């Protein structure tokens, strides 16, 4: 479940596809009974109006996360 959102930044999905993928992921996360996934799905749902911008611009914090040791 933690790997599936990576496809969003692969660059081959349109904004509509990204929204659909995140909605499905949030549904699964909410039913997972894992507190961290439930909390993340709530955050994604509250920030829903903001997802198109970083996807369209190809912005990710992957480099920063990769340096965090």
Distance of alpha carbon 26 from alpha carbon 50, whole angstroms: 15
Q: What pLDDT shows up at residue 28?
A: 92
For helices 15-31 and 35-46, the axis angle rounded to 10 degrees is 140
Is this structure's pTM higher than 0.75?
A: no
Residue 66 has pLDDT above 80, yes or no: no
Domain that holds residue 39: 4-67
9-54 pLDDT tens trace = 676 777 788 888 888 889 999 999 899 999 989 998 888 777 767 7
Q: What pLDDT shows up at residue 69?
A: 56
Instruction: Give the number of domains in the chain.
Output: 1
């Amino acid at each position: 479940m933690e790997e599936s959102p990576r496809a969003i930044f692969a660059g081959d999905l349109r904004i509509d596809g990204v929204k659909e993928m995140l909605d499905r992921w949030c549904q699964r996360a909410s039913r997972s009974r894992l507190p961290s996934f439930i909390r993340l799905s709530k955050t994604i749902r509250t920030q829903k109006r903001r997802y198109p911008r970083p996807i369209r611009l190809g912005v990710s914090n992957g480099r920063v996360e990769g340096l965090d040791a």
